[in-house]
A and B are shown apart, each in its own frame.
Chain A
Amino acid sequence: MTSPLETAERPQDMKRIVIEPLTRVEGHGKVTLLQGKNRNIRQARLHITEFRGFEKFIQGRPYWELPVLVQRLCGICPVSHHLAAAKATDMIVGAGELTPTATKIRRLMHLGQTVQSHALHFFHLCSPDLLFGFDDDVQHRNITGVIEDFPDIARQGVLLRKFGQEVIRVTAGKRIHGTGAIPGGVNKSLSLDEIRYLQDDIARNIGWAQGALELLKNIISEHYEHHMQFGTIQSNMMSMVRDDGAFELYHGGLRAKAVNGDTIFDHVDYVNYNDYIRESVKDWSYMKFPFITSLGEEEGWYRVGPLARINNCDYMRMPLAETERQEFMALGNGLPVQSTMAYHWARLIELLYCTEAIAELLCDPDLVRKELRIQGNLQGSGTGVVEAPRGTLFHHYEIDERGIVEKASLIVSTTNNNQAMNESIRRVANQYLDGNRLNEALLNHVEVAIRAYDPCLSCATHAMGKMPMELNLVDASGELVDRLEKRVTGRIMRTI
Chain B
Amino acid sequence: MSTEKTFKLDGRDIPFDDGDTVMDAALRAGEYIPHLCHDPDFPPHGSCRVCVVGVNGRHTASCTLQASEGMDVDNSSEDILEERRMLLQMLFVEGNHTCPACEKSGDCKLQAVAYHAGMLSPHFTHFFPKRSIDASHPEMMFYYNRCILCGLCVRVSKYEDKKSVFAISGRGIDSRLVFNSPSGKLGDTDFSPTDQAASVCPVGAILPKYLGYETPIGQRLYDFKPISVVGDETARDIAKDKLTNGGPDE
Contacts and interface: CB of A to CB of B under 8 A. Distances in A.
Nearest to B213: A179
Nearest to B218: A173
A187 B215 contact: yes
A38 B51 CA distance: 75
Nearest to A66: B212
A378 B138 CA distance: 13
A64 B216 contact: no
B170 interface: no
Interface in B90-104: 100-101, 103
Contact of A69 (B101, B135, B210, B248): B101
A35 to B, nearest CB: 44
A219 interface: no
Contacts of B100: 72, 177
B135 A179 contact: no
Given A94-B248, A180-B216, A377-B249, A403 B210 contact: yes
A93 B217 contact: no
A173 B216 contact: yes
B241 to A, nearest CB: 15
A433 B166 CA distance: 69
A349 B31 CA distance: 59
A52 B218 CA distance: 31
A60 B213 contact: no
A93 B248 contact: yes
Contact of B101 (A65, A173, A180, A187): A65
Interface string B106-138: 000000000000000000000000001101100
A234 to B, nearest CB: 42
A103 B101 CA distance: 23
B216 A188 contact: yes
Instruction: Assign chain A's interface to a size class.
Output: 20 to 34
B209 interface: yes
Contact of B248 (A60, A173, A178, A376): A376
Interface in A35-92: 60-62, 64-65, 67-69, 72
B242 to A, nearest CB: 13
A404 B212 contact: no
Contacts of A378: 248-250
A375 B132 contact: no
A353 to B, nearest CB: 28
B141 A62 contact: yes
A402 B248 contact: no
Contacts of B246: 375
Given A60-B133, A65-B101, A69-B101, A179 B211 contact: no
A172 B215 CA distance: 11
Contact of B132 (A60, A62, A68, A188): A60
Contacts of A404: 133, 135
A119 interface: no
Contacts of A172: 217
Contacts of A403: 135, 209-210
Given A62-B141, A94-B248, A182 B213 contact: yes
A64 B212 contact: yes
A147 to B, nearest CB: 31
A179 B99 CA distance: 13
Interface in B198-232: 209-219
B101 A64 contact: no
A167 to B, nearest CB: 15
Contacts of B216: 173, 179-180, 187-188
Contacts of B103: 64-65
B212 A173 contact: no
B218 A62 contact: no
Nearest to A180: B216
B247 interface: yes
Nearest to A173: B217
Nearest to B103: A65
A187 B135 contact: no
A180 B218 CA distance: 11
Contact of A64 (B210, B218, B250): B210
Contacts of B219: 188
B248 A375 contact: yes
A68 B213 CA distance: 8
Contacts of B248: 93-94, 183-184, 375-378
A182 B217 contact: no
B212 A182 contact: yes
A335 B101 CA distance: 45
A149 B246 CA distance: 58
B249 A182 contact: no
B158 to A, nearest CB: 27
A174 to B, nearest CB: 6
A257 B65 CA distance: 75
Contact of B217 (A67, A179, A377): A179
Contacts of B133: 60-62, 404
Contacts of A377: 248-250
A486 B225 CA distance: 54
Interface string A15-42: 0000000000000000000000000000
Given A376-B249, A377-B248, A378-B250, A65 B135 contact: no
B248 to A, nearest CB: 4
Contacts of A187: 213-216
Interface of A: 60-62, 64-65, 67-69, 72, 93-94, 172-174, 177-180, 182-184, 187-188, 373, 375-378, 402-404
26 contacts: A60-B132, A61-B133, A62-B133, A62-B141, A62-B209, A64-B213, A65-B101, A68-B213, A69-B101, A72-B100, A94-B248, A94-B249, A173-B217, A173-B218, A174-B217, A182-B212, A183-B212, A183-B248, A188-B219, A373-B214, A375-B248, A376-B249, A377-B250, A378-B248, A378-B250, A402-B135
Given A182-B213, A188-B219, 11 more contacts: A60-B133, A62-B133, A68-B212, A72-B100, A93-B248, A94-B249, A178-B217, A378-B248, A402-B135, A403-B209, A403-B210
In the A-B complex, the 4 residue pairs with the smallest Cβ-Cβ separation, listed nearest first, are A173-B217, A64-B212, A179-B213, A188-B216
